[in-house]
Amino acid sequence: MADAIEELEHKRAECNVRADAHRANRDRLNGESRTLADRRGATLDELHAKSAEAQDHRHHRDELNEQVREAKRLREESNRKLQECSDRLELLKRNRTPRQGAVPVWRLRKELRELEFRHMTSALTADQEKRLVGEMQRLELAIREQDDQFRKDPEIEGVLTELASARAEAEQHHTAVGQLAEEAQREHEAMVTLYMSVDELRRQADEVQAKLIEVKSSADEEHRGHIAAIEEVRDIEKMLYASRGGRVPVSYGEAEPAREEDFLARLKKGEKVSTEDLLDLQKSGRA
């Protein structure tokens, strides 16, 4: 009987050690779970912040793109107005008769272009070049004189003023289109960079979540092992109590009296009690 009691005490000690090991592993895994949960929370917070910032860049980009479209529309209107003014001016010049004996401006300009081409493409002697340059200067002077004469005409002067205004307006809208488009592109690039960061953070959060589930599952398994070991210790202690002459009521989860009395009788007779007998009594005690 003493051997059986010693064996029960040995098994109780083993179960206590196993319960302590399960508890230590469970606590370690729970601590790791909390660390992973904190890391996941921090990652998600950063993800949400970057996602919101990316949304802001997208909204600003869309606003700028709308402004680009409006600036292009205004530029097209200014260009049409500029072309209309240019056409009106050209028509007025053609309809205005130069002073008697004067060559029309359009012909002077044609002659000037021909001389300029000849000056750039022909091999000339020094005298030939001098005469050619002199002729080009004469034509330029004649053109300026006729332009000055045209400018004295109020109608032509008005069209020239409109032309200058339309040109300045078109250039202003063209500059605005370029500036707004560049700013919209910067906003787009910032948005894309942030969304790439968001994708990476989401990947990291998913990895942490998968690890967290794995660790929590292991922690739950260790907890179940701890509970099972504690219950086994309790059952062994009940058997020890019974083997020493005590009696635990059935309502406390003890074995049936007949099984218990048979077990005690065998111990008193000095019969060997196997591990299977002990486990069988333990299982029936928990039933």
pLDDT confidence of residue 265: 56
CB-neighbour burial class of residue 199 (10 A; exposed 0-12, middle 13-18, buried 19+): exposed
**pLDDT, tens digit, for every residue of 214-265?**
999 999 999 999 999 999 989 888 888 877 765 554 444 444 455 555 655 5
pLDDT confidence of residue 224: 94
User: Which whole-number Å values give the CA distances from 90 to 95, 106, 196, in the listed order?
Assistant: 9, 10, 56
Highest mean pLDDT among 91-95, 98-102, 224-228: 224-228
CA–CA distance, 31 with 33 (Å, rounded to integer): 5
CA–CA distance, 15 with 233 (Å, rounded to integer): 6
Nearest-10 Cα torsion for 115, 120, 123, 124: 50
Phi, psi of 195 (to 5 degrees): -65, -35
Q: Which domains does the chain have, with CATH numbers?
A: 2-96+153-286 (1.10.287.2610)
CA–CA distance, 166 with 53 (Å, rounded to integer): 41
Q: Are 235 and 16 in contact (CB under 8 A)?
A: no
pLDDT confidence of residue 5: 80
Instruction: Indicate yes or no: pTM above 0.95.
Output: no
**pLDDT, tens digit, for every residue of 28-72?**
999 999 999 999 999 999 999 999 999 999 999 999 999 999 999
Confidence tier at 148 by pLDDT (50, 70, 90): confident
Q: Are 78 and 166 in contact (CB under 8 A)?
A: yes
Q: Which residue type, as a one-letter code, is found at position 202?
A: R
Of 285 and 70, the one with more pLDDT = 70
Phi, psi of 269 (to 5 degrees): -75, -10
